[in-house]
Amino acid sequence: MENGGPKLYEELGELARFVKDTMRTLSAASPQLTSTSAQLPAAASHLSDLKQMTEDGTLEVMRLTELIQDNHGRIAKDLSAVVEVLRAMDCPTLAGRLEKVTSVLAQDEKYLTEIMTALSFQDLVAQRVKKLVAILNEVEGKLVELVVIFGLQQSGQAAGDASLAGQLLKQLEESKTTAMKQKVADDILAQFGFK
């Protein structure tokens, strides 16, 4: 005690109390962590489904819009031919009316193009949903890490089980690059009595 004196002893005591209080707080938060951890995969799945539905819907609207544009092009071409025949036959009133129809078709073509442009929002939605899914996956990973680290300490596991924590954390880290991520996270949580 000569080197550190009472001040060091006091600081060590404060640190021990802090760790004990933190463990108690984490233990009390365990049900909420479990609940949140269980809901994160569902939230990520819902967001992925939403992204897919918006993409599918947008692609279908674009496909149909293109078909309507193609039809408008054919109608406009046929109307122009009819207008020319009517002018040659000296029917200016009927030719003028058909020219108005052709004008309306041209305006519709402009609106259809604006619809196609407006549908570009889907790309932005997909990018943001992808970011949200990544954030949820990151949070879930951090929660599982906390369960591993504090779960071993809480259950009074021996220091030799630190290698178990290391193995579990390594499995979790490796699973981030594979499709098995959710299964690994579920298996780890199950080992600590969650699920």
Q: pLDDT tens for residues 61-110?
A: 889 999 999 999 999 999 999 988 888 898 888 888 889 999 999 999 99
Q: How many domains does the chain have?
A: 1
One-letter-per-residue 3-state SS of 125-168:
HHHHHHHHHHHHHHHHHHHHHHHHHHHHHHCCCCHHHHHHHHHH
Q: What is the pLDDT of residue 1?
A: 46
Q: Is the pLDDT of residue 9 over 50?
A: yes
Q: What is the pLDDT of residue 48?
A: 81
- Ranked by mean pLDDT, which of 37-46, 112-121, 165-174 comes out on top? 112-121
Cα(195)–Cα(191) distance, rounded to whole angstroms? 9
Q: Is the pLDDT of residue 142 over 80?
A: no
- Angle formed by the axes of helices 5-88 and 181-191, nearest 10°: 150
Q: What is the pLDDT of residue 159?
A: 47
**Containing domain of residue 151, as a range?**
5-191
- Ranked by mean pLDDT, which of 15-29, 41-55, 102-116 comes out on top? 102-116
Tally: H helices and E strands in the chain: 5, 0
Q: Is the pLDDT of residue 180 over 80?
A: no
Tell whether pTM > 0.85. Answer: no
What tokens does 95 get? Answer: 């030719």
Distance (Å) of CA 147 to CA 120, 124, 143, 179: 42, 35, 6, 22
Q: Is the pLDDT of residue 156 over 70?
A: no
Which CATH number fits the domain that encloses residue 45? Answer: 1.10.287
The full DSSP string for 67-79 is HHHHHHHHHHHHH
Query: Where is pLDDT greater, at 77 or 49?
Result: 77
Residues 140 and 182: beta-carbon distance below 8 Å: no
**Structure confidence at residue 139 as a pLDDT band (50, 70, 90):** confident
**Structure confidence at residue 125 as a pLDDT band (50, 70, 90):** confident
Q: How far is CA 31 from the centre of its chain?
A: 26
Separation of first and last alpha carbons in the chain: 48
Q: Is the pLDDT of residue 170 over 80?
A: no
Q: Is the pLDDT of residue 178 over 60?
A: no
Report, as an integer, the average pLDDT of 109-113. 92
Q: What is the pLDDT of residue 3?
A: 57
Single-letter code of the amino acid located at 194:
F
